Copies of this chain bind each other. A is one copy, B any other.
Amino acid sequence: MSNTNDNLALVLSDAIQNNQFDDALVAIKGLRPVDLADVLEQLEPSLGWRLLERLPDRAEVFTYFEPEQQVRLAREFPRATLAALVSEMPADERTDLFKRFDQNQRDALLPALAQAEREDIRKLSAYVEGTAGALMTSDYAVLRKDMTVAEALASLRTEAPDAETIYQAYVIDKKRKLLGVVSLRDLILADLGKSIKELMTSDVVSGLVTDDQEDIAKKIARYDLLALPIADERGVLTGIVTYDDAMDVVSEEVTEDIHKSAGVSTIAGNLKDATIGLLYRKRIFWLILLVFGNLFSGAGIAHFEDIIAANIVLVFFLPLLVDSGGNAGSQSATLMVRALATGEVVMRDWLYLIGREALVALALGCTMALAVSLLGYIRGDSTIALVLALSMVSIVMIGCMIGMSLPFVLSKFNFDPASASAPLITSVCDATGVVIYLFIASQLLDDLAVVPI
C-alpha cells in the first residue's frame, strides 16, 4: 500500500503541474478520505491545495492531515478558499486548526468567516487544553420534549447534515438545559405519535466542560456511548464528545504512559517526524538524573572499599544483583501503573496488593537466590553463595515493594503514577541494592577482610 501511495503521489504531482485535474480526479476515484489524505500529504503543499480545493469532500480529507501539515497547507490557500474550507470543517476540528495558527493567520482568517462561526471558534478555543471543553464539538442534534416522534424525525432530517452524530439527540428546554437523551434507534422503533418526553431517558450520563479529557473518555468507554453530552457549570448543554475523539484521547494517553515508563517525556505527534533535538531533550533528563543518582551507589561502594579489595569475586555479581532489584521492581511498577490507568485497581486496594506482592517477591527472590548462589558456589565458595542468596532475596523484595508502592504514592499526591518510570526505579534500587549486598558481605566475610586474594 505504501508503494502504491508513492506512485500515486508521483502521478498526481505530474497531473496537477500540467493542470490536468480531470486525470488527477480519476486517479483518486474510490479512495477513502483518510487514504486520500495520506497521498496528498506527500505532495508539495503548493500542488496539494490545488487538487484539494477541487474535491467535493475536501473538508473531510483535510481533517485527516497531520496537524503540522494542515497549518503548512493552510498557508498556501487564498484567504477566501481557506475560509470556505474552514466553514465546512466540523466545529471541533476547525477550532483545533485555528489554535495552531499564528496571529497573522488568525487575523487573516477571522474577517472572512461568518459571524456564527467566528463566535463558535471564540467560545470553543477558550477552553483549557486537556478538558472536555477543548475536546467537544458544538455540532449536535437537539430536540424539544413536547415534539412527537414524527416531528423529531423531521427535525433530525433538517439538522443531520451538520450534526456530528444524529444517533443520539439531546432534549433541551428553552434555556438549553439538558433534560434527556433519545437514540435514533428508539425513535425508529417508536410510534410516530408518541411524545419525546415519554420516550427520552432523563437520567443522562454527562460531563462538565471542565472535566479532564481522560475521565470523559473513561465514561464513554464504561457506558459504551456513541457520544457524551457536555454541560457548563449552570447545566446548560454546550457540546458533545464523540466516541472516536474519546478513543483518540485514550490512544494518546497510552502512548504518553508508555513513554513515561521508559523515562521519556511526552512526545506529542509522530515519532518519525520528531527532530533529533526534540528526542534529545525528551530523553536526557532521566539519563542525567541517573548519572547523579549514582553518587549514592558510588558512596555505598566507597564505604565498603576494603571488603571489595579483599574479595574481588564480589564484583562479578555486582551488576547482576543491582539489576535484579531494578528489574523485579520495574515489573511491579508496570503492572501497577497499568492497573491504575485502566481503573481496575483503586487506592483502597493498596494494602491487599502490597501484602500479596510481598509473597510474590519472596517467591521470586528465593528462586533467583537459588540460581545465583549456584553460580556463586561455582565461582567462589559456600560463604559467597550464602552472601549472594541473602542479598538476592532482600534486594528483590525491596525492589518489588518500591516498584509497587511508588505508583500509589505518586497517585496519592496527585502526580501521574506513570512517572514511576523504569529509570527512576532502577536508580533507587541501584543504591539500595549496592548497600544491602556489600553490608551483608561485610558481615559474613568479616574474617576474610584482612586476607587479600
Contacts and interface: CB of A to CB of B under 8 A. Distances in A.
Nearest to A269: B344
Chief secondary structure at chain A's binding surface: helix
Given A188-B156, A276-B359, A276-B360, A283 B243 contact: no
A124 B177 CA distance: 45
A181 to B, nearest CB: 13
B153 A166 contact: no
A334 B294 contact: no
A421 to B, nearest CB: 10
A48 interface: no
Contacts of A292: 371
Contacts of A339: 271-272
A251 B338 CA distance: 11
Given A258-B338, A262-B330, A283-B331, A291 B315 contact: no
Given A270-B344, A298-B317, A188 B166 contact: yes
A263 B203 CA distance: 45
A368 B336 CA distance: 30
A356 interface: yes
B371 A288 contact: yes
Of A224, A319, A430, the most chain B CB neighbours within 10 A belong to A319
Interface in A286-342: 286-288, 290-292, 294-295, 297-298, 301-302, 305, 308-309, 312, 315-320, 322-324, 326-328, 330-331, 333-336, 338-339, 342
Interface of A: 2, 30, 32, 34, 153, 156-157, 160-161, 166-167, 184-185, 188-189, 203, 205, 221-224, 226, 243-244, 247, 250-251, 254-255, 257-259, 261-264, 267, 270-272, 276, 279-280, 283-284, 286-288, 290-292, 294-295, 297-298, 301-302, 305, 308-309, 312, 315-320, 322-324, 326-328, 330-331, 333-336, 338-339, 342, 344-346, 348-349, 352-353, 356, 359-360, 363-364, 367-368, 371-372, 375, 379, 396, 422-423, 426-427, 430, 434, 453
Contact of A379 (B203, B298, B336): B298
A452 to B, nearest CB: 9
Given A279-B360, A294-B317, A323 B322 contact: yes
B185 A160 contact: yes
14 contacts: A2-B346, A156-B188, A221-B247, A261-B334, A263-B331, A272-B349, A283-B331, A290-B320, A294-B375, A298-B379, A322-B323, A323-B426, A327-B423, A330-B423
A324 B372 CA distance: 23
A345 B363 CA distance: 40
Contacts of A319: 294, 297, 301, 318-319, 322, 430, 434
A344 B288 CA distance: 29
A219 to B, nearest CB: 11
Nearest to A205: B32
Contact of A224 (B221, B244, B294, B367): B244
Given A34-B222, A338-B258, A338-B259, A288 B368 contact: yes
A291 B333 CA distance: 20
Contact of A243 (B243, B258, B345): B243
A271 B327 contact: no
Contacts of A301: 315-316, 319
